[in-house]
A = this chain, B = another copy of it.
C-alpha cells in the first residue's frame, strides 16, 4: 500500500508558524527562520532527515504553504516559494478552494491545484505514486492536522525546536485523537527528531 508520511517543524509549544503569514514573513510574525535553523544551518547533520522529506513520489500541501496569496488566484503569477526549480522533482497537489491551471516547473515538479478536498488530493497523489510509493504531506500545520484527523497519515516526523512561539498554527488544534506512537528519536542542539508511526 502507498505510504503516507508527513514532516513538520514545531516549537516547544507546538506551533509551526506564527500569526499573519505573508510574502515578507513566510512563517508568520516572530518566527523568521528559527523553526528551520536545523535545516538551514546544520544541513550536513540532517542529510537523512532532509532526504526523507524530499523522497516521496508525490506531495500534498496547503495553499498557505504554497504561498501568501489568499482568495481567488485571479492574475496571480505566484509560482511557489522555491524559484524556477523547486526541490520536489515530483507532482505536488496544492489544496485550495479556488481553481487554477497546473504549473509545470523545471526539474519535474508540477503544481496541481485541487479544489475538492483532502481525500481527492490524496487519491490523485496515490495514483501517481503507485502501490509501493510514498505520498508526502508537506504541510503546513493545518493540512497535516486535517489528514491526522482523518487518520490518513502513516508516519509523522516532528522536529521539535527548543523555542517558544506563543501564537500561530498548531497541527494539534482541535484534534481529538492521535493514533501514532513514537518509533525513533534523536537529538541535535537545534531540534529533536521524533518519528511517529500508526499503531497497528
Total copies of this chain within the assembly: 2
Q: Closest Cβ of chain B: how far from A38's Cβ, in Å? A: 11
* Interface segment, one of A67-75, A104-112, A157-165: A157-165
- B177 contacts A164, CB within 8 Å? yes
Query: Which residues 150-186 of A have a CB within 8 angstroms of B?
Result: 160, 162-164, 166, 170, 172-178, 180-186
Q: Closest Cβ of chain B: how far from A120's Cβ, in Å? A: 26
Closest to A177 in B: B164
Q: Does A55 contact B (CB under 8 A)?
A: no
Which of B164, B185, B186, B196 is close to A178, meaning CB atoms less than 8 Å apart? B164
Using A14-B14, A170-B13 as known contacts, say yes or no to A181 and B189 having CB atoms under 8 A apart.
yes
Residues on B with beta carbons closer than 8 Å to the beta carbon of A180: 162
Contact size range, A: 20 to 34
Identify 16 residue pairs between A and B in the complex whose beta-carbon atoms are under 8 Å apart, listed by A's number. Answer: A12-B14, A12-B172, A13-B173, A14-B14, A160-B182, A160-B194, A164-B178, A166-B172, A166-B176, A181-B190, A182-B187, A183-B187, A185-B185, A185-B193, A187-B194, A192-B194
Inter-chain pairs besides A162-B181, A181-B190, 6 sampled, C-beta below 8 Å: A12-B172, A13-B175, A182-B187, A182-B192, A183-B187, A185-B187
Instruction: Name A's B-contacting residues (CB within 8 A).
Output: 12-14, 160, 162-164, 166, 170, 172-178, 180-194, 196
